Amino acid sequence: MGAERTVAGGYRDVHRRSLRDREDFWLHAARCVDWDRMPGQALDDSAAPIHRWFPDGSLNLSRNCLDRHLEAGRGAQVALIHDSAVTGTVRSYTYAELTEEVARAAGMLAGLGVGAGDRVIIYLPMIPQAPIAMLACARLGAVHSVVFGGFAAQELASRIDDSSADVVLTASGGIEPSRRVEYLPTVAEAISLAQHPVREVVVQHRDGFSHSMADVAGDSTARWQDWERLSAQATPAGPVSVAATDPLYILYTSGTTGRPKGVVQDQGGTAVALSWSMSAVFDVGPGQTMLTASDVGWVVGHSYIVYGPLLVGATTVLYEGKPVGTPDAGAFWRMVEEHRISALFTAPTALRAIRKADPEAALVGDHDISSLQHLFAAGERLDPDTQRWIGEALGVPVIDNWWQTETGWPIAANPVGIEPLPIKEGSATLPMAGYDVVILGADGQELPPGEEGNIALRLPMPPGTLPTLWGDDQRYIDSYLSAFPGFYATGDSGCLDEDGYLFVMGRTDDVINVAGHRLSTGAIEAAVASHPAVAECAVIGVADDLKGQRAAGYVVLKTGYERDPELLREELTDLVRRTIGPVADFKDVAVVPGLPKTRSGKILRRTMRQIADGEEPQVPSTIEDRAVLDELVPVLRRSR
Ligand code: COA
Ligand code: AMP
């Protein structure tokens, strides 16, 4: 049994209408949201190329995710299941309980002076307080910015500064299979590194961590308080009506420079687009259960752990654990059985890790997975071999979907909730509603089917996509809208086939994707270059069988610096870990005599990557000294 169908017509008809009759299409889609003021207009293009959606609408997203389901009689239905493989606990919250928790957390924030438009940093592991905090901000119209726990203090500090958040919500720490990650020293360090003064820190206590608030609060300018004590005293807060165009959240993501981009998503567009996608793309509706095995620190977590499932009255599983090793490669299948999951969403890396640990998929057979209808994969390229393997093991369609932090929901997918389309291996299938996907050559000309080029989206993009970067419209325009006027440049390359199916090949810029985590090689280079022995360096993403890509660094030492290569590797690894975080997983370092450059001094990273990956390298005619590249070839080949 699929979700309640809210999308009428076949895929081609739906997609055509979404582009041709834009106003009607999105105003109709907007009806599945409870508005305080129903919008009378869908698109506002008065400030093009910056577009806004539902300019005259107002609503509250927390109310849409919670209270309205109580009113519809779903109060006793489970809304959230926290399944923690690392602590061996499972805890469920009904819609009534979750609403109460969120209202109390919102009251706690209001008591700290947080109101509509104020920014709140959420630095939490995968515990219920993470979605509760997000929904509590949404309840007040405050803007949350969730920071992934695998980032170090410097990254946290840069997000505090860019968002100028006064309040940080955190916990004692996160639990990785091999170690406890102490959050409090990181938060304290970030606060001292940040220029912007954080006023309040609220800490959810977890047992088993060595640092307490008392250890760090003394040296801090911020006031540190205990979450449970504060929320117990708080007066529950009701939902505040906000404009559809108001920001819901800022999510920082890696760009080509070391400075992360503060992607903004708004209230109304997010509500409408995620509701639409839950039905059309994921085929999940009221009463069904979805497990999105990502992290709330990524966009996939924002959209499909928290907002999407709750908007449509489904049950969402918040999984604290890994696909393998907690305790084994059957973790997902156990949860499918235990929670009767119908939609499972994960990253291809996780599937490859499961395959490595359980090549025959024997652990699938230990569980009753009959509730599972679809497996969704995104975050990086899904290789056909893995897609075939897992599809055969589970006996359900494996749906690749392609999108980005910036777009908030799938650009291309197989719309199984409208009409399941034939799957072509290696393709993310077809554009979703409102996305007009084209392939452009370097000169901006549209390329015919079969030719690879820059994947671009004709403006306007649909609701639920970024209206801008936080506080920086110009950076938004420069970063995404200037390369091809009239289009949003995705930064990915690929091609369309004769049937319009999209094949995504990889990035056109210096962004890499390590285990589904988007990282900037520029940021890693900046960390490596800060080592006193390093004269210059290049970091590239080389193909990795498990993680899709991994970061590899090539460093030129300053004259006179002698370093034991192993010691240097350890120092640089540690430096990146401390500056960016363990998530960068930076381990490969090679000392080289020189780096290949163009005559204008640009390092030929793309050529280096092509050599490392065993591809035919494209060597620009502007190369300064071919001998430098030739000398590097054997080193690069060893990187694979
Ligand atoms: N907090 C702190 N540290 C974290 C972290 C977090 N939330 N997440 C990862 N790390 C650390 C890990 O502990 C590890 O540290 P180590 O070098 O001390 O061992 C490092 O970051 C790299 O971690 P990870 O990328 O998870 O690699 P792994 O080898 O430990 O595990 C996989 C491999 C495939 C199991 C894992 O990468 C995975 O689950 N990938 C799926 C990712 C995903 O779902 N992405 C969602 C995008 S949609
Ligand atoms: P993020 O913003 O972290 O979600 O990363 C987005 C980037 O991940 C995209 O621009 C792609 O490069 C890559 N990506 C995400 N999903 C896919 C997919 N299904 N196929 C290929 N690449 C993907």
For the stretch 369-409, pLDDT in tens is 999 999 999 999 999 999 999 999 999 999 999 999 999 99
Ligand found nearest the CA of 551: 1
Ligand found nearest the CA of 504: 2
H or E segment and range at residue 133? helix 129-140
Measured by CA distance, the residue closest to atom 11 of ligand 2 is 380
Q: Which residues of the chain have pLDDT under 50?
A: 1-6
Architecture of domain 106-240: 3-Layer(aba) Sandwich (3.40)
The pair of structure tokens assigned to 183 is 């959050």
Q: How far is the CA of 379 from the centre of ligand 2 (A)?
A: 4
253 lines ligand 2 (CB under 6 A): yes
Find the DSSP H helices in 500-604: 521-529, 565-579
Cβ atoms of 318 and 309 closer than 8 Å: no
Residue 367, CA distances (Å) to 338, 386, 519 in order = 9, 21, 36
- Give the CATH fold of the 437-507 domain: Luciferase; domain 3 (2.30.38)
pLDDT at residue number 1: 37
Phi then psi for residue 68, to 5 deg, are: -70, -25
Q: How far is the CA of 179 from the centre of ligand 2 (A)?
A: 29
End-to-end CA distance of the chain: 46
Question: Which long-range contacts (C-beta less than 8 Å, at least 24 apart) are formed by 216-224?
Answer: 216/184, 216/185, 216/187, 216/188, 219/188, 219/192, 220/188, 220/191, 220/192, 221/191, 221/197, 222/168, 222/191, 222/197, 222/198, 223/199
Cβ atoms of 344 and 390 closer than 8 Å: no
549 lines ligand 2 (CB under 6 A): no
- Ligand 2 atom at minimum distance from 511 CA: 12
pLDDT at residue number 41: 98
Measured by CA distance, the residue closest to atom 38 of ligand 1 is 350
Ligand found nearest the CA of 387: 2
Angle at 129 between CA 328 and CA 33, to 5 degrees: 105
457 lines ligand 2 (CB under 6 A): no
- Distance, in Å, from the CA atom of 588 to the CA atom of 568, rounded to the nearest integer, reads 11
pLDDT at residue number 7: 53
- Ligand 2 atom at minimum distance from 300 CA: 4
Q: How far is the CA of 516 from the centre of ligand 2 (A)?
A: 8
542 lines ligand 1 (CB under 6 A): no
Going by C-alpha positions, the residue among 69, 298, 322 that lies closest to residue 178 is 322
Q: How far is the CA of 583 from the centre of ligand 1 (A)?
A: 6
Q: How far is the CA of 491 from the centre of ligand 2 (A)?
A: 10
129 lines ligand 1 (CB under 6 A): no
- Distance, in Å, from the CA atom of 450 to the CA atom of 456, rounded to the nearest integer, reads 15
353 lines ligand 1 (CB under 6 A): yes
605 lines ligand 2 (CB under 6 A): no
Domain assignments of the chain as residue spans, ordered by start: 106-240, 437-507, 523-637
Measured by CA distance, the residue closest to atom 3 of ligand 1 is 150
Q: How far is the CA of 137 from the centre of ligand 2 (A)?
A: 27
381 lines ligand 2 (CB under 6 A): yes
- Ligand 2 atom at minimum distance from 377 CA: 19
513 lines ligand 2 (CB under 6 A): yes
Q: How far is the CA of 95 from the centre of ligand 2 (A)?
A: 32
341 lines ligand 1 (CB under 6 A): no
Going by C-alpha positions, the residue among 314, 343, 341 that lies closest to residue 79 is 314
Domain at 523-637: CATH code: 3.30.300.30
Measured by CA distance, the residue closest to atom 20 of ligand 2 is 381
- Distance, in Å, from the CA atom of 542 to the CA atom of 44, rounded to the nearest integer, reads 42
Measured by CA distance, the residue closest to atom 19 of ligand 2 is 402
- Ligand 1 atom at minimum distance from 125 CA: 7
- Ligand 1 atom at minimum distance from 295 CA: 46
Q: How far is the CA of 410 from the centre of ligand 2 (A)?
A: 10
Going by C-alpha positions, the residue among 547, 443, 539, 454 that lies closest to residue 496 is 454
Cβ atoms of 212 and 184 closer than 8 Å: yes
pLDDT at residue number 630: 96
300 lines ligand 1 (CB under 6 A): yes
pLDDT at residue number 545: 93
Q: How far is the CA of 37 from the centre of ligand 2 (A)?
A: 35
321 lines ligand 1 (CB under 6 A): no
- Ligand 2 atom at minimum distance from 506 CA: 12
0.85 surpassed by pTM: yes
Q: Which of 305, 583, 586, 588 to mutate to test the pocket of ligand 1 (most atoms within 8 A of CB)?
A: 583
